[in-house]
Structure 1
Amino acid sequence: MSTTEPIIAAADGSALGNPGPAGWAWFIDENTWASGGWKRGTNNMGELQAVLSLFEATAHVPERELRIFCDSKYTIDSITKWMPGWKKKGWKKSDGKPVLNLELMQALDAALVGRNYTFTWVKGHAGHEMNERADELARAAATAYKNGTTPDAGPGFSATGGAGGSGADKKPAAPTTIQTTAQTGAPTTVQKPETAQPGADQSNPKQPGPKQPGPEQLEARLNDPAFTAEAANLEPLLASGFEWITPAGRTVDRATVIELRAKAFAVNGTPKVLRVEAGASHAAVLSEVPLERGAVLRTSVWSTANRRGTWQLTLRQETATGR
């Protein structure tokens, strides 16, 4: 296989309940795919994570074009149309509200730098072979989380991965076009917007050095009342667009969390880390946390998609366990 041959893949997400047990997957061929998910997430989160994982898995072959079939217009438009404007506004939407799924968007923004890629929209559940297989794998991952089992992570990607003409890799020169497909099936090619902003750092974010604590260690610090008592300790750890979603579904912003830190970070015992899922620039820590009002399952999403390349908490979401 030529090392310059494009990588052709499909990416998809699935959520049982939306939000609910969620999965994601990308698929090149039966020997080259990956999947994963969360105990609770949304379909959009799965779609975005599938694309992010595909870019990260192929990062070691940046000379090859990446061609992605995707049935999520939200994902395609977020990456190819809306992201530059969000960045200009400090990752805020046109109405001034924070961008949804911020941690995934920022990780994608970093992963796209220097890559040559196209997206082709395909209608979901319409017989597209690769899309159907990615959907099947994503749904299987979501079902595994629903059943309390571990999903099959898949064989992943290697530089020689991909059978025949189906496989392709990651990061080439900056792409010039994004391909979409209308409902009629007629392909439409539109100019890809510039992703670079004046003064923006166009290199990939620097990964934390070996002496810097990782997400699990930082999560432990946030469970220490002596640490969280000081606003100065929290400010560098909470990303600018940080949100905390409570078990009641209320979204609390960064400023409020810092102001009410004594209440926000109070625990009634020792949290138990259940799972840590880490990528090159993002990680999720799932914990069972005892609170005065009862135990909750807490998902904390960490990212290094910032100028310093240090770990920052971008999202916390809690679900009551009934205990």
Structure 2
Amino acid sequence: MTIRAAADGSALGNPGPAGWAWYVNDDCWRAGGWPHGTNNQGELMAVLDLFRATAHLPDEDLHILCDSQYVINSVTKWMPGWKRKGWRKSDGKPVLNVDLLKDIDRALAGRKYTFEWVRGHAGHDLNEAADDRARAAATAYQQGVAVRQGPGFIRAGDPAAPAAGGQSAQPVMSAAAARPTRSAAPQPTAAPTLFGGSSLLSEPDLFSELEDEALPQPAGADELPELVVESLERELLLPGTRSDLGRTSVLLHPDFTEIGSSGRLWSRDEMLMALEGNPGSPAELELLSADRVGDSSVLLTYRTHTRAGAVLRSSLWVLDGAQWRLRFHQGTPEA
């Protein structure tokens, strides 16, 4: 039998009051959180608690629906390499959220599991239910009220399931894991292409280490689309945004692609993996034009300036539901 569940996290301010939740159905779910945490920590904790809550069913397949590429790639692609390197990244820096990742590594030993990426805020019933509960937990911590933790893993005809208030009711999380870790901005080994300096090597630079600085809020929905998109593009130039996988995952369209200055086509997943070793550097934006292509798309053209030189750039933003998201980017070093 397969257990099918969604896992999600939420952080108000990112970092800020944070929540997590996993959801099977209305009679089988769990939520929790902390006064201060990040979206990524919430996503990881939801997965960890789901493994713990189903530990009494080791022979059943666990099918996890998750809207976080960071979590899926961390568990299924990057974690083995991190373990071999003593939980350090390719640049020698410590892996973020390492306590949670180590706990997940122990929890999934001997388990049969698969991850499925689902688009967040797109009407997927299980994902929406988990998201609602994670956000409610974060809001409860923000308001200083009790969190609805849920019944836990309870299934009809399953007498071995832990009762509500059992071991999984109070997730274990160290103080170090509950707080974002500030680290010095990494120095790229090659100049980045996306939202950074110019390079014929076309190395992407969108994601990097997570920092505990507050992120600016995007422009209000009542503003012109051109102004909203320009504000979001400028936000992506900030180290605090590029370093926050949770926030940038919201801004990047699931089908995002980039054509680098070398002519290479980068997919979203390829960029996530490449940026593990090359997070890039910030740049200043000189806006050239912001043109509405249609009712739900805006094309930005601009120039960035770094110590490596100037780069001419174009970004196509599309309206995905109520959220503007970056669909395509291209950068060319200016002659």
**TM-score normalised by length of structure 1:** 0.50
- TM norm structure 2: 0.48
